[in-house]
Amino acid sequence: MSEPRVRDLDEAALLRRIFAVLEGSSTALVGPGDDAAVLAVPGERLVATTDTLVHGPDFRLAWSSGEDLGRKAAAVNLADVAAMGARPTALLVALAVPDAMPVTFVEDLARGLRAACDELAPGCAIEGGDLTVSDTLTVAVTALGVLDGAPVRRSGARRGDIVAVAGDLGPATRGLRILFDRFRGADGTPMSMEPSVLSDAERSDVVAQLRPTPPIALGSVAARAGATAMMDVSDGLILDATRLADASGVTLDLSSSLDDDALTGGEDHALLATFPADAMPEGFRRIGTVRERGACAVTVGGVPFSGRGGWDPYQDWDAARG
């Protein structure tokens, strides 16, 4: 018997399959199945964020399995919660799925969502969402978290602070380069990715692109240590550091030891933070200094960075089509 497709099931049947994968992970007062979830919120300060992954600009089915996509969709949202200094507590997931999609792909996607929560943010669970049909596979996730103290915003960096990062910088962009260079046809169309033809180092970089593992727990650690500003590095260190510097009205001078992949690559979802000089916690490493605002928001070794410093979907999507 052939594998069932999404079009072979009604909405209720497909949701039952998804809930079966997620069952047991919820600590909500009211979980999936009602019109909305009901969550207990300690301290009554809720952090909320949302992100959308669309087939084409954000992922390619030729390269990503259902579990890859679920893990990535969770990770990119968990990182935004962590970057506020909060602890993730729940995800709400909206899926727009082509009706010819194998049902097992959707189940694997749910499995990836749950695995990312279990591994990166224990105690966080998928508490509901929405399901519809579309020609383009789209995953929209809303992440919720709670604060134990004040939120860490982008706007608090001060002259004399150190610039630090937790997590990797560079592997995900190297992985994307490998995918575009090695697994596309002559017409630019993505071809099925075959891990066995990659070296161990190349495979590690590709996994970093398809399944990012940001240091979620270190967000609240940074907040307790006294981080003055923080954000996740999703679009490239230079671009995101510029956003933080502009919000804080300072210049970030980054280390000249950082290579181009670390400076311009994105999607590792490392945590970029600033701390008073004696407050950097374990798990972070120093990569620069906060200086008084100068002519440039970001310098590298005291020199303005030349060129574009990251990914802008409105500027870069045409170049990545295929």
Q: Is 154 labeled as ligand-binding?
A: yes
Annotated binding residue at 232? Answer: yes
Q: In whole angstroms, what is the distance from residue 195 CA to residue 198 CA?
A: 6
Instruction: State the alpha helices, DSSP H only, in the chain.
Output: 11-22, 66-82, 103-120, 171-182, 200-210, 217-225, 237-248, 260-264, 313-320
User: Does the annotation list 3 as a binding residue?
Assistant: no
The answer to whether 50 is a known ligand-binding residue is: yes
Encoded amino acid at 13, one letter: A
* Residue 321 annotated as part of some ligand binding site: no
Kindly report the number of other CB atoms within 10 A of residue 134's CB atom: 13
Q: Does 51 count as an annotated binding residue?
A: yes
80 is in an annotated binding site: yes
Is residue 253 marked as binding? Answer: no
Closest Cα partner for 228 from 263, 269, 266, 278? 278
Q: Is 63 annotated as a binding residue?
A: no
Residue of 115, 147, 110 lying closest to 129 (CA atoms): 110
311 marked as binding residue: yes
Q: Within the chain, how many helices (H) and strands (E) appear?
A: 9, 11
200 is in an annotated binding site: no
Do the annotations mark residue 316 as ligand-binding? Answer: no
| Binding positions for ATP | 129-130, 154, 234
| Binding positions for substrate | 58, 267, 311
| Binding positions | 35, 49-51, 58, 80, 129-130, 154, 232, 234-235, 267, 311
| Binding positions for Mg(2+) | 35, 49-51, 80, 130, 232, 235
